[in-house]
Structure 1
Amino acid sequence: MRFVHETLPQRVRLASGEAAAAVAEEVAALGAERVMVIASTREAGLAATVTAGLPVALTYDEVVMHVPVEVAERARSAAAQARVDAIVTVGGGSTTGLGKAVALTTGLPLLAVPTTYAGSEATDVWGLTEAGVKTTGTDPRVLPRAVVYDATLMTGLPVALSVASGLNALAHCVDSLWAPRADPLNAALAAEGARALARGLPAVVADPAGLPGREQTVYGAYLSAVAFASAGSGLHHKICHVLGGRYDLPHAETHACVLPHVLALNAPHAPEADARLAAAFDAPTGLAGLEDLRGRLDAPRALREHGFREEDIPGAVAAILPVVPPSNPSPVTTENLTALLRAVWEGADPS
């Protein structure tokens, strides 16, 4: 057994009902005196409660999906004008992504308070979109110094969005099993993350206001993100980055629709990974377990329902093929990638 595994330095707190106190302690530990709070208008009330005890110098709410470059530039300019010395994000992946964009060029310390299961808070991956092209990279400056998970902040997340966001987290687990830097430690984290998500998400659907399902899903989402941060982007994420940036598709729903089709393509060529997923789902195969879970969750299936058009398929194929990771278990060709995207578009049975 030979591998090189990098564990990212980050403080993580899961404290249901204690977000405000935990965030205040983390900001004090940084010695910050002029904090920039980033939260969308939809999360404004929640953010105000979480950051009530902080020395807030700037509240910024221009949060846009896929972080357009021009939005990032405006946020950076606002941070400079307000002379902030730390950033606190309260929200989902787009909010965390904007905080990362500011940290990337300023070097300001970042603290994240997630309200979805996006996982961006646990990675050193940044993403910016310009002229329909989403560019991603890694940089230690964008890794949040601390993450505060509070499951009570997620009880108001609508069930449909909870499901899509949770399946986005599950995609981190699946991709981590064959991504460019996949290793046994990533696989162990991914398998436990998948197990937790497979148990937490149905509980969220059954009782959206209950904490047990939310906490289990948060736990799974964090593990999945840690695995993904180490393993890197596999085929699934390369596809979703192209689709999201090029066609402005909703992030979580895109991942939820694409995931089973990538698993169906790769699982026959990765029996050990498939066996791990099958065990996590307590199912005969990884795909059978995923499809059973998606059925119980009433998960998104057809990307045509979220803005992807049939005539977009050839252009998407041409954009994806050059970025297919060499580590992908299955050969990827124009023909099978076209078939995959057509199946995703129409919501066909991935098997």
Structure 2
Amino acid sequence: MKLKRINIIFMFMLVVMLAACGGNDGGGEGEGLEGSVVIDGSGTVYPLMSRLAEDYMINEQENVSVEVSRSGTSAGFKKFLVEGGGTDFNNASRHIKEEELAEAEKLGINVKELKAALDGITIVVNKENDWATELTQQEVIDIFLASANKKNWSDVREGFPNEPIQTYGPNENHGTYEFFWETIIGEQDLVDNINLQQDYATLVDLVTKQKNAIGFFGYGYYESNKDKLNAVKIDFGDGPVEPSLDTIKEDGAYAPFTRPVFTYLNEGMAKEKPQVLDFAIYAMKNAGTAAQETGFAPLPEEELQSSVDYLEGLNETNETKE
């Protein structure tokens, strides 16, 4: 009986040890890490990175604090590119600009671009808007373009109500604004009366309260507020296309309004703080699942794995130096 009891205790201890070695699809090799990971930047990417941060702290490293803020892509880069060390990551809904890369080089900051997911610029209208359920790509451009002079809905298309259009969007701090202005509008002047906001929740609220409102932001914010807003189907030339995780792809039907989103890693911070690199590896390993859960189209597995391989290479370099 005594031998049997010892065997039972041994088996219990073995199960506990195996459980401790297991876990989710984790980050690097770090065990029992602690400290902080500081992330700022894009409001569009915020839900995705917040989900990854929450899952990481619960499932991987409970003693690591991952702080995610959302000052906007451009404002975030100012906090990221700081002499002596700014934030560890900057989320961005656009590529880093040449002048930002030049600033990074001047400061001696090695920046690694990590492509995280795909997003679709979504054109939203008030629930009571029963006329602009479908618009052509050019009609969308004309609504927001100053030189098109479309002041009333009736100016956009015959049969639309003769009522003033109220336009909304994120402000210049956001990569979403920059993508919309640069890629969709072609760097032309927007309408004078457009209401630009820093906070996406404010944008949602404004469009829900104005029958004649039309606005734009990332698909994820529409997905989480679809009970309050309608998404406009866009005709790019082959019939109306509804934004969805199936159509928002680089070669998909919604491709003209599709853009990649990123997080940028300060490689110096990854070398100084093992928890930063560990989180980066975890984020890239789990970005596909988190993307679908937060309104983004996931990248191909091989593309995410390429980032994981690069980061794990950094991890091996760090361990060799130690």
Fold similarity call, TM over 0.5: no
Structure number with the bigger relative contact order (C-alpha 8 A, sep ≥ 6) is 2
Query: What is the TM-score when the length of structure 2 is the normalising length?
Result: 0.22
Query: What is the TM-score when the length of structure 1 is the normalising length?
Result: 0.20
Q: Which has the higher strand share?
A: 2
